[in-house]
Amino acid sequence: MNKIDDKPLLRVEKLKKYFTKRLSVIQKRSRIVRAVEDVSFSIYPKCTFGIVGESGCGKTTLLRCIFQVVKLTSGNIFFEGENLAELSRNELRDKRKNMQMVFQNPFISLNPRMSVLNIVSEPLRTHTEINFEEIRQRVLILLDQVGLEKDHLYRYPHEFSGGQLQRIAIARALSLKPKFLALDEPTSALDVSVQAQIITLLRDIQEELDLTYLFISHNLTMVHHISDFISVMYLGKIVESGLADEVFHQPQHPYTQVLLSSTPSLSAQYRKDRIITKGSVPDASNPPSGCAYHPRCQHAMDICGKIDPELLIIGDHHQAACHLVNS
């Protein structure tokens, strides 16, 4: 894959984000929730970087950190070589033109009181000073790009189906011609046949506009389908990352293996013996000692409860954090 030789478009270095959770209203007792712990990765231009994890693993917090919506506890985020945390408000605003986001649920992320024209043109109106007629022309081009019609311009969100709404959300994200698009579970609220339409649309516009994607999902099959790289997160940490095919076909971390085997699959070939984990994702404010996954892990050893394994390189671009891999 020659795309990797380029300089990364987005680089995340040792990102940490802690929240404090008040335990009691009266007493000032609190606990630290390590939502994102020591996460590093690079996203190369024109690639799709997929992040998989269950709810509560810090996927969305990570995204919010990248967009500087929340302040980082520590770590650096470089976009086109510039450290986002060091930028002033105005500079950051300027940078955000190049990085846009599509959210999970289009029924919520689109304002029901705004017409499609208003929704799609809002970024144009805030960031540029072009006149109304030009805006209208731009919006029409955008709608065409995402497969919507001219007469949808003055309609309101309630008149559309879920798939169409997601198209509108994508048009809005594309309006400023960004280089980088973050997709937070863009298809999980949609039906299978509509899902396929949106995924195909995303692929087409990626090729057409040379976009870079960060694709977040809980569905490993879906992430594998669209991504060049995959990172698997568990409780705020990356436990495995690598080229999509490698992570999918030769998972090293027990959690990735479980995730893969619990994902229902249509092809009998992938329907091997299912590994079923015990329990659920632990509370992030009170994580287990050592490796966060060890209480649920089928291969847990003594050392797992004591020492947290580090992310080690085990192959070309392939990394995993597990004592099994070390030994």
Partner 1 sequence: MKLQPLLSVKELHLHFNTYAGKAYVLNGVNLEIMNNDFMGLVGETGCGKSLTSFSILKLIPPGGEIISGEIFFKGDNILIKSEKEMRRIRGQQISMVSQDPSAYLNPLFTIEQQITMVIKQHQDLEKNAITQKAHDLLQIVELPNPGGILKSYPHELSGGMKQRVAIALALSCKPDLLIADEPTTDLDVTIQAQILDLLQKLRKREQLTILMVTHDLAVVAETCKSVTVLYAGKDVETGSVDKVLYESKHPYTKALLEASPNPKTRGQKLSMIPGKLPSTSERQFGCPFSSRCPKAMPICNRVIPTMKQLDEDHKVACFLYEDERVR
Least separation, in Å, of the C-beta of 86 and partner 1? 37
Least separation, in Å, of the C-beta of 221 and partner 1? 5
**Binding positions for partner 1, rule: CB under 8 A:** 54-55, 161-162, 191-197, 199-200, 203, 218-222, 224-225, 244-245, 248-249, 258-259, 261-268, 270-271, 274, 276-277, 280-281
Helix 162-174 to helix 132-145 angle (10° resolution) is 130
Which CB sits closer to partner 1, 19 or 270? Answer: 270
Which CB sits closer to partner 1, 213 or 248? Answer: 248
Where are the strands (E) in the chain, listed by range? 10-22, 30-43, 48-52, 74-79, 82-83, 99-102, 180-184, 212-217, 229-234, 237-243, 312-315, 318-320
SS (H, E, C) 171-193: HHHHCCCCCEEEEECCCCCCCHH
Which CB sits closer to partner 1, 12 or 223? Answer: 223
CA dihedral sign, ordered 182, 147, 119, 222 = negative
Which CB sits closer to partner 1, 70 or 281? Answer: 281
Least separation, in Å, of the C-beta of 199 and partner 1? 6
Which CB sits closer to partner 1, 114 or 196? Answer: 196
- Cβ atoms of 309 and 241 within 8 Å: the answer is no
Least separation, in Å, of the C-beta of 107 and partner 1? 12
Which residue type sits at 273? Answer: D
Least separation, in Å, of the C-beta of 215 and partner 1? 12
Which CB sits closer to partner 1, 118 or 262? Answer: 262
- Collapsing DSSP to helix, strand or coil, 70 comes out as coil
Least separation, in Å, of the C-beta of 195 and partner 1? 7
Task: Kindly state the helix (H) or strand (E) to which residue 95 belongs, with its residue range.
Answer: helix 89-95
Nearest of 276, 172, 191, 187 to residue 225 by alpha carbon = 187
State the alpha helices, DSSP H only, in 180-304.
192-209, 220-226, 244-249, 254-262
